[in-house]
Each structure stands twice: as C-alpha cells, then as structure tokens.
Amino acid sequence: MPESGPGPMLELDRVVSGYGDGVALHGASLRVAEGEVLGLLGRNGVGKTTLLKTVMGLLRARAGTIRFAGRPIAGLRPFEIARLGVGYVPQGREIFADFTVLENLRLGNLDSDDFSVAFDAFPVLQQRRDSLAGSFSGGQQQQLAIARALMGNPRLLLLDEPSEGIQPSIVAEIADVLRRTAAEQGVAMVLVEQNVDMALALCQRCAFIEGGVIAEEHPVEALRADPAILDRYLAF
Ligand SMILES: Nc1ncnc2c1ncn2[C@@H]1O[C@H](COP(=O)(O)OP(=O)(O)OP(=O)(O)O)[C@@H](O)[C@H]1O
Ligand SMILES: [Mg+2]
C-alpha cells in the first residue's frame, strides 16, 4: 500500500531560472517534507542562492513547477509567497543598518506588533530592541535576520549560509534556535551551508547541487559513513 503521510512542504520539479539571458538553474528538482531540514550543498557559483531566490519569487521560474504545501507558487510575488508561510534569510543578511532592531523585525510581519517569537529565539534582540541594527556584530545581524523571518510564522524557512563570517559561539546559538524551531514547531527548512559540521548537525538529508541541477541526495548518516560524497561536491 502506498504511504499516505502528508505531502511535501516544498516541491521543485525541473525548475529553470537565471539572470538576463543566462541560465543558472538548469532544471532543479527536490522535495522537503514537513518539519524536515534539508541541506543544500555545493561549491561557489553552482546555483544555491539562485534556487532559494526562485522559490521566494525574487527570480522568475522560466520552466518547471514549484509547490508549497501542495499549492503552485511559481509566478506569485515575493510578498505573496511570504504571506503563505515562506520565510527567507538571504545571504549577507540584508538587514537595514539605519533601522532599529524593532523596525527591522516589523518588516518581517507588518501585521504584528508581537515580537515574542523573535525575542524568545534571541534574547539579545529584546535587550537591544531600540539599537540601530548597524551597530551590531555580524553574528547579531544574522540573528536579527533569522528573527525577522520567524516574525512571519513561516512553515518553511529558506536559509542562505547563516553561519557565513560569524564567530563560533553565535553559530552555535543559531544552530540551536534552528534545531528547536524545526523540532518543536515542525518548520521545514532548506539550509544552504558551507559549514559542513553545521549542516550535518542540523539536517536529516543533504542535496548536492552542481551546474544548476541537484546531482545527488543522501541521508546525513550516509554522509558520515562515506565522507567521499562530501569531497565530490565540496572539495576544490
Ligand atoms: N545578479 C546576477 N547576475 C548575473 N549572474 C548571476 C547573478 N547572480 C548570480 N549569477 C550567476 O549565477 C550562477 C549561480 O550563482 P549563485 O549565486 O546561485 O551561486 P551560489 O551557489 O549561491 O554561490 P555562492 O556559494 O558563491 O554563494 C553563477 O554562475 C553566478 O555567476
Ligand atoms: Mg550563494
């Protein structure tokens, strides 16, 4: 008998997208289950950011289908996709340096003045709620970017290299928050990471992208048992 569990939270089927006349995503397919954390790993320039931006509607899918919780979302605007329950933490964070913490958080959900989800995740944001975000360290800015995404009560979080350029103690705090958010709230995640230890610690499965397509997918246990797979897609 076929398994009758819930359908995937996110499903990409042969998605093509790119910039101008150039194609960067050449038919990428993947699935993420409810509450699952999927690692998306690959070398520089292979299309990781492009894939996340295409899901978020920041780039147009030129072919293929994208479904969120069973609903086709390709062609919707980014704010519509966010409203459906997709949170995005962009590479490089993209917080507003001249805005306070509270002003940045409000941009994550214009309909809510309840910041408890952000403050519960990262208490430092409550302590420094009126500080300008530009006065923060890189790690604190990353925490703010994640908290801003959590403000929208997402069912799916897209995270683009959240540990990039951040001190280890804050990376550990961020990993802890992501682990709890997935386990306790069933939030699904696509985690782009160069930090392999963080990816293996958080993910149940990793997808390897090369040349704009998903080349292989493996459960984390298989990657621990056979590190040659990681080398194939990450070593230079
Ligand atoms: N704004 C842009 N305009 C034109 N080409 C772009 C643009 N952004 C990315 N590209 C190209 O698209 C391809 C995929 O880039 P993408 O940023 O998705 O890679 P990535 O896997 O996220 O890399 P990184 O690990 O460096 O973040 C690359 O060849 C890149 O040069
Ligand atoms: Mg990138």
Question: Along the chain (236 residues), what's the average pLDDT of each consecutive run of 10 residues?
Answer: 68 97 97 96 97 98 98 96 96 93 94 94 96 95 97 97 94 96 96 95 97 97 94 87
Q: If DSSP codes are grouped into helix, strand and coil, which group holds residue 214?
A: strand
Q: State if residue 5 touches ligand 1 by the CB under 6 angstroms criterion.
A: no
Phi, psi (deg, nearest 5) at residue 81:
-65, -40
Sign of the Cα pseudo-torsion (100, 101, 104, 109, in order): negative
Minimum CA distance residue for ligand 1 atom 30: 45
Q: State if residue 45 touches ligand 1 by the CB under 6 angstroms criterion.
A: yes
Which of 16, 50, 192 best tests ligand 1's pocket when mutated (most atoms within 8 Å of CB)? 50
For position 93, what pLDDT does the model report? 86
- Measured in Å, residue 175 CA sits from the centre of ligand 2 at 19
Q: Which CATH number fits domain 10-234: 3.30.70.270, 1.10.530.10, 1.20.1250.20, 3.40.50.300?
A: 3.40.50.300
Strand blocks (E) in 55-126:
63-68, 71-72, 86-89
Q: State if residue 21 touches ligand 1 by the CB under 6 angstroms criterion.
A: no
For position 235, what pLDDT does the model report? 82
Q: What is the pTM of this model?
A: 0.95
Q: State if residue 109 touches ligand 1 by the CB under 6 angstroms criterion.
A: no
Minimum CA distance residue for ligand 1 atom 16: 47
If you count DSSP H runs as helices and E runs as strands, how many of each does the chain have, helices first? 10, 10
192 CB-near residues (< 8 Å, 6+ apart): 39, 40, 41, 48, 49, 52, 91, 159, 160, 161
Rounded Cα gap, residues 173 and 1, in angstroms: 42
51 CB-near residues (< 8 Å, 6+ apart): 12, 15, 25, 28, 40, 209
Q: Which atom of ligand 1 is nearest to the CA of 44?
A: 25
How many CA atoms within 13 Å lie on the side-chain side of 138? 12
For position 6, what pLDDT does the model report? 65
Q: Which atom of ligand 1 is nearest to the CA of 46?
A: 21
